[in-house]
Chains A and B, each alone.
Chain A
Amino acid sequence: MLAYILRSLMQGLVVMLAVAFIAFSMFRFVGDPVVNMLGQEATLQDRAELTERLGLNDPVPLQFARFVGDAAQGDFGISYRQGRKVSSLILERLPATVELAVLSAIFAFVLGVALGVYAAIRRDGWIANLVMSLSLIGVSLPTFLIGIGLIYIFAVELRWLPSFGRGDTVALGWWTTGLLTASGLKSLIMPVLTLGFLQLTLIMRLVRSEMLEVMRADFIRFARARGIPERRIEFRHALRNTLIPVITIAGVQLGGVIAFAIVTETVFQWPGLGALFVNAVQFVDVPVMSAYLLFVAFVFVLTSLIVDLIYVALDPRLRSGNPAMAK
């Protein structure tokens, strides 16, 4: 089991290094950092000095090592455009994105599993069929359309919910939260629905098909032959076996919530990292772009690590050492 976790950690590390290399390369290939920082009118003298000071004359491997070392300590350099440390820009925007993404993930997972289980158990019921048909729409409708549709209905027509921004936030240390005010909560509703909807439908369809598969397994038949009540079979014997494959796939998808957040944040003018990144792209603000890239990779690695841990917790076959047996 320890070996299994160590292997996941190693894999995560390799992914992070690969992404770090891409992020590092952006500095060299997307514009000239010296020109970007000093502007076109700087003297040759100034440029040479800055080039030296930034270490751009050093061998590339050394520069990369320095980049990785700095990034590991949370130092991503100075924003070209805003002249502030990238790390503080990110910290400022982080709470908005994390609250949006985590709530969307919970919304998608909890409702997705519940609806998927329902659709599997009541396979032939009309509600289950309706839910399945609606989920097809969810799979095929682009995120921004859902967002715009919600804004039209709930902000423009009904005027129940605000169409943009986070509403009032409360500061807890450096963290700002929208969860403690009425306007903050109201502002979260539509972005969370928009961001979570696609994942919700995917998870639901996955849970349904996995559960139907598990319900055909021999051990379910044997449980029935022993007179175990049907509810117990569904929620104890089948559900846990269903969740193992679901969690692996859903975990990766939920990591993707952060990436999809760019669209949602743009539609709702949500002051999060996605919006920061879109701005950075417009102004070729390379340090911000590369830091965002690293952040997204970090989230993916972190979720897959958490997924691996949950996997170990759910599946005894992994705990006793031989991961191959779980297949």
Chain B
Amino acid sequence: MQSEAAIPVLSVRDLTVEFVTRRGTLRALDRVSFDVARGEVLGVVGESGAGKSVTGSAIIGLIDPPGRIAGGEVVLSGERIDNLPDEAMRKVRGRRIGMIFQDPLTSLNPLYRISEQLIETIRVHTDLSAAQARARAIALLDEVGIPAPERRIDSYPHEFSGGMRQRVVIALALCAEPDFIIADEPTTALDVSVQAQIIALIKRLCKERGTSVMLVTHDMGVIAETADRVAVMYAGRVAEIGPVRDVVKAPLHPYAKGLMGAIPSLEGEAKRLVQIPGTMPRLSAIPPGCAFNPRCAQVFARCHVEQPELIAVGDRRVACHLYDMPQSLHDASHGKPEIAA
């Protein structure tokens, strides 16, 4: 029996998500697997369309039709949740898994006061009275850095600036004390000047509570500073996952290398990832073998016929045939392997 602390808060196993469209079934996620330990921040990076948001939606059970989970499992603190009935899954959302959305301007219902939305959420998940829920809501607003929360709590969303609204969104996501938070590009829609504050806030709050985080971002600087581990996604698959210092400083997967090479060297300058030559294939046109093969500088024969599995390399896992060979070749694997094409 594993000890309580050793069970990951979240464990995703071979998660596969498909969208049934008129032009056939598109596989948006293909056997995605990763774990998030208690208190850990997992960064998730990858080009637009790589499947980062779909992963978040699948975990929290909000894939809209025509999408569906076609395989694999999502296990939360040892309990499988991807096959829970609707009502049981609803109780998991907010209470055990929280979610922070990208755009705070559209995440809040414009017609209700902040107090109404906070108190509603708290009372859905706890037995607190209205007055107790309100006290808790005020304390939360104070924690997320809203000045004069007793007064501001009765404001409407449009009476806050974008950064303040995202703080409210964070308070809403945390108000029932979930163990796990999905933050899907939480600062992309914000003014550059407040992005760092919001990231720092999420990091601090989750650290204080021991909450685990899945942080989706395009900002490698944020990943380097905030995440404990990072997952690089490509075309609905995990390309590489491992401790942030390894993956960012010395990536193994050719796609990850391209991504990390694209980090702006200027300190503190947040930039979107520079494109690697070529574009990610559309879901309807993923090549056989390794999905990255049309763009890979190190492609070889096996890459066209066989899809690479995620295999352990030291502390990390990589889905690339370069690393699936005798140990002696690993050390030389930064160059082209000796196998003839």
Q: Which A positions have Cβ atoms within 8 angstroms of B?
A: 217-219, 221-230, 232, 237, 240-241, 244, 314-317, 320, 325
Do B107 and A219 touch (CB < 8 A)? Answer: yes
Do B94 and A228 touch (CB < 8 A)? Answer: yes
Chain B residue nearest to A228 (CB atoms) is: B124
Query: Chain A interface secondary structure, helix, strand, loop or mixed?
Result: helix
Taking A225-B62, A226-B124, A232-B120 as known contacts, 20 extra A-B pairs with beta carbons closer than 8 A to each other, sorted by chain A number, are A221-B62, A222-B169, A224-B62, A224-B90, A224-B93, A225-B60, A225-B98, A225-B101, A226-B94, A226-B99, A226-B121, A226-B172, A227-B125, A230-B90, A237-B109, A240-B111, A315-B111, A316-B113, A320-B156, A320-B158
Complex interface residues of chain B between 67 and 85 (CB less than 8 A to chain A): none
A307–B86 Cα distance when bound, in Å, is 39
**Listed A/B pairs (27) with beta-carbon separation below 8 Å:** A218-B101, A218-B103, A219-B107, A222-B101, A223-B109, A225-B60, A225-B93, A225-B99, A225-B101, A225-B173, A226-B94, A226-B99, A226-B124, A226-B172, A226-B173, A226-B176, A227-B92, A227-B93, A227-B94, A227-B121, A228-B124, A229-B90, A232-B124, A314-B111, A316-B113, A320-B156, A325-B158
B106 within 8 A of A: yes
What distance in Å separates the Cβ of A315 from its nearest Cβ neighbour in chain B?
7
Residue in contact with A228 in the complex, picked from B62, B111, B120, B156, CB distance below 8 Å: B120
Do A227 and B120 touch (CB < 8 A)? Answer: no
In the complex with contacts A217-B106, A218-B106, A225-B158 CB distance below 8 A: no
Chain B residue nearest to A226 (CB atoms) is: B94
A291–B267 Cα distance when bound, in Å, is 77
Q: Which residues of B contact A217 (CB under 8 A)?
A: 106
How many residues on the B side are at the interface (Cβ–Cβ under 8 A)?
Answer: 32
Q: Which residues of B contact A237 (CB under 8 A)?
A: 109, 112
Chain B residue nearest to A124 (CB atoms) is: B65
Do A241 and B110 touch (CB < 8 A)? Answer: yes
A226–B108 Cα distance when bound, in Å, is 12
Q: Which residues of B contact A317 (CB under 8 A)?
A: 110, 156, 158
Which of B86, B112, B159, B173 is packed against the most chain A CB atoms within 10 Å?
B112
Do A226 and B101 touch (CB < 8 A)? Answer: no
A227–B103 Cα distance when bound, in Å, is 19
0/1 per residue, B139-178, Cβ < 8 Å to A? 0000000000000000010110000000001001100100
